[in-house]
């Protein structure tokens, strides 16, 4: 059995670095996906979601079949954990998010999905009791959500629209993303990053084969150029960032990882501004700064925070 590394790192800076690199790839992928949808009518959300996990599974499997076959070893009793993680944690999270984007707005989809850190914190603190609760973490969570809202909506509630199926898929994307954080953290206590990713990607790929079987894909008439684009997108949008994000969970609590990941929409907006010429106003920049401040606040230890409060009262 391939065992994971050490538990949560008491000095988690490497975890922050891994997540920030991961969300940079995810943020850039949002602009890339928007460009692909606009420039190639054959590439749809379904095939984009399917090939992301399928290509990633094939590449990791081929590499480790040669380099280290031990990563394939798991206990049979744990298979169901990987099945649920792959189907709900990866496939359903991805599809429900993009469906919400399609049926409502990008701002709506992002904001709904990034309520997941709240769910993770509530579960980890009050249900599983795997994490402690302190004022710095709660303040960081609130600041991150407010910053995320300002960054993606420019402070206007008119961009937030939920109706019909988008209401269901928006909520589903948040629940599944929260599940991904919690389940990944638990599996990594027993298995390595690569073991978890191979099986999660694999079961997500099997799920997509049922939803969108090969003969349906053939009828779409994708060209060799389309497949090369989808291959590249899979590498930069899920294989690299998800590997980094999963590795970061060895160093950070699940709720902390969720809060740091709120940097994704901020980075996506910045990349869209420079690469696609989209707008960027003062309110959005203020939202981005709020998210950065939330991440910095996570570094404040509870005892140190109380000392700072005491010093202020004395003044």
Model pLDDT for residues 220-251, shown as the tens digit of each residue: 999 999 999 999 999 999 999 999 999 999 88
How is residue 89 annotated by DSSP? I
Statement: residue 312 has pLDDT above 70: no
pLDDT band, very low/low/confident/very high, at 315 (cuts 50, 70, 90): very low
The SS3 assignment for 107 reads helix
Mean local confidence (pLDDT), 152-175:
77
Q: Which residues touch 200 (CB under 8 Å, ≥6 apart)? A: 82, 85, 86, 89, 90
- For 165-199, the pLDDT digits (tens) are 778 888 899 999 999 999 999 999 999 999 999 99
Bigger pLDDT: 304 vs 292? 292
Mean pLDDT of 285-296: 87
Gap between the Cα atoms of 92 and 98, Å rounded: 10
- In which band, very low, low, confident or very high, does the pLDDT at 94 lie, cut at 50, 70 and 90? confident
Residues 53-66 have pLDDT tens digits of 999 999 999 999 99
Q: What's the rounded Cα separation, in Å, for the pair 144 and 150? A: 10
Summarize the confidence of residues 279-308 as an average pLDDT: 74
Q: pLDDT band at 301, cuts 50/70/90?
A: low
Q: Is the pLDDT of residue 313 over 70?
A: no
- Structure confidence at residue 235 (pLDDT): 95
- Distance, in Å, from the CA atom of 137 to the CA atom of 269, rounded to the nearest integer, reads 25
* Backbone torsions φ then ψ of 160, nearest 5 degrees: -90, 110
Structure tokens belonging to residue 196: 């978890």
198-202, 249-253, 262-266: which has the highest mean pLDDT?
198-202
Q: For residue 108, what pLDDT is reported?
A: 73
For residue 227, give Cα distances in angstroms to 6, 157, 210, 310: 39, 39, 20, 60
Residue 268 — pLDDT band, cuts 50, 70, 90? confident
As given in the structure block, the two tokens for residue 1 are 């059995």
**Tell me, what DSSP letter sits at residue 158?**
G
Note the pLDDT of residue 161. Answer: 66
Q: State pTM to two decimals.
A: 0.83
User: Considering Cα of 284, then 116, then 292, then 22, what sign does the dihedral take?
Assistant: negative
Higher per-residue confidence, 162 vs 238: 238
Q: What length is written for the chain?
A: 315
Residue spans of the domains in the chain: they are 13-314
201 vs 292, more confident: 201
- pLDDT at position 11 is 56
Token pair belonging to 81: 């954990």
Mean pLDDT, range 132-154, rounded to an integer: 83
Dump pLDDT digits (tens) for 97-127: 877 876 776 667 777 888 888 889 889 988 8
Q: Kindly tell me if the per-residue pLDDT of 74 is higher than 90.
A: yes
Take residue 154 and report the two structure tokens written for it: 């420019």
Task: Inform me whether the pLDDT recorded for 68 exceeds 80.
Answer: yes
Token pair 């690199």: residue:
21
Beta strands in 157-249 (DSSP E): none
DSSP class of residue 154?
A: T
Q: Cα–chain-centroid distance for residue 310? A: 37
**Could you tell me the maximum CA-CA distance found in the chain, to the nearest angstrom?**
73
- What angle (nearest 5°) sits at the alpha carbon of residue 159, between those of residues 157 and 160? 70
pLDDT in tens, 4-44: 444 445 457 888 999 999 989 988 887 787 778 778 888 88
The mean pLDDT value of the chain amounts to: 84
**Would you state the pLDDT for residue 4?**
43
CA distance 252 to 245: 10
């Amino acid at each position: 059995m391939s065992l994971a590394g050490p538990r949560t790192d008491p000095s988690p800076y490497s975890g922050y670095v891994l997540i920030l690199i991961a969300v940079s790839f995810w943020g850039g992928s949002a602009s890339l996906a928007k460009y692909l949808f606009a420039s190639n009518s054959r590439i749809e959300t379904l095939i984009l979601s399917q090939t992301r996990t399928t290509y990633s599974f094939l590449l990791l499997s081929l590499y480790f079949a040669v380099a280290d076959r031990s990563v394939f070893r798991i206990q049979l009793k744990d298979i169901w954990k990987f099945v649920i993680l792959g189907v709900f944690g990866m496939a359903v999270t991805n599809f429900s998010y993009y469906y919400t984007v399609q049926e409502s707005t990008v701002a709506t989809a992002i904001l709904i999905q990034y309520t997941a850190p709240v769910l993770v914190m509530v579960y980890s603190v009050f249900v599983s009791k795997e994490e402690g609760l302190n004022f710095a973490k709660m303040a960081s969570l609130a600041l991150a959500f407010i910053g995320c809202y300002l960054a993606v909506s420019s402070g206007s509630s008119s961009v937030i629209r939920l109706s019909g199926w988008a209401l269901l898929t928006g909520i589903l994307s948040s629940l599944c993303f929260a599940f991904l954080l919690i389940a990944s953290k638990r599996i990594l206590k027993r298995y390595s990053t690569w073991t978890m990713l191979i099986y999660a990607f694999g079961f997500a790929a099997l799920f997509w084969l049922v939803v969108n079987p090969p003969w349906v894909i053939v009828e779409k008439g994708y060209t060799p150029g389309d497949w090369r684009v989808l291959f590249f997108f899979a590498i930069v949008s899920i294989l690299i960032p998800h590997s980094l994000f999963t590795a970061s969970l060895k160093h950070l609590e699940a709720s902390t990882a969720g809060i740091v990941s709120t940097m994704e929409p901020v980075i996506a907006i910045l990349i869209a501004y420079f690469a696609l010429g989209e707008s960027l106003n003062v309110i959005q920049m203020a939202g981005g700064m709020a998210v950065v401040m939330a991440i910095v606040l996570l570094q404040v230890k509870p005892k140190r925070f109380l000392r700072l409060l005491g010093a202020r009262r004395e003044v």
